Amino acid sequence: EAQVTQNPRYLITVTGKKLTVTCSQNMNHEYMSWYRQDPGLGLRQIYYSMNVEVTDKGDVPEGYKVSRKEKRNFPLILESPSPNQTSLYFCASSLTGLRLTNTGELFFGEGSRLTVL
């Protein structure tokens, strides 16, 4: 089954304790991205990757890091989490970039709810 898998789905942590949210897709997609969803703000892009070893900042990259060493994986790293990073995080992928598929659609994971105390 084609899917984007995120782990963990739920996490409560404390300020300053490094954590990684993993993301893996089995569709051989080149493009991957991380979004965070906050009430009243919708989904905002954190980082994206056009292909292996190619990553770039989105709209809200502060406090986050990413890496793309393999095509299927795109982990989100919070080196020193703070309470303002409490949010619902989504990883998404697309075949060849947002405008090159026939619909431009993104495939989303089920989300990771992170609470930083």
Partner 1 sequence: DQQVKQNSPSLSVQEGRISILNCDYTNSMFDYFLWYKKYPAEGPTFLISISSIKDKNEDGRFTVFLNKSAKHLSLHIVPSQPGDSAVYFCAATFRGGNKLVFGAGTILRVKS
Which residues of this protein are in contact with partner 1, per CB under 8 A?
4, 33, 35, 40-45, 48, 50, 56, 58-59, 90, 92, 97-99, 103-111
Rounded to the nearest whole angstrom, what is the least distance from the CB of residue 37 to partner 1 in the complex? 8
With 0-12 / 13-18 / 19 or more C-beta atoms within 10 angstroms meaning exposed / middle / buried, residue 5 is middle
Cβ-based nearer residue to partner 1, 14 or 41? 41
**18, 77 in Cβ contact below 8 A?**
yes
Residue from 85, 34, 89 nearest 59 by CA: 34
Cβ-based nearer residue to partner 1, 17 or 53? 53
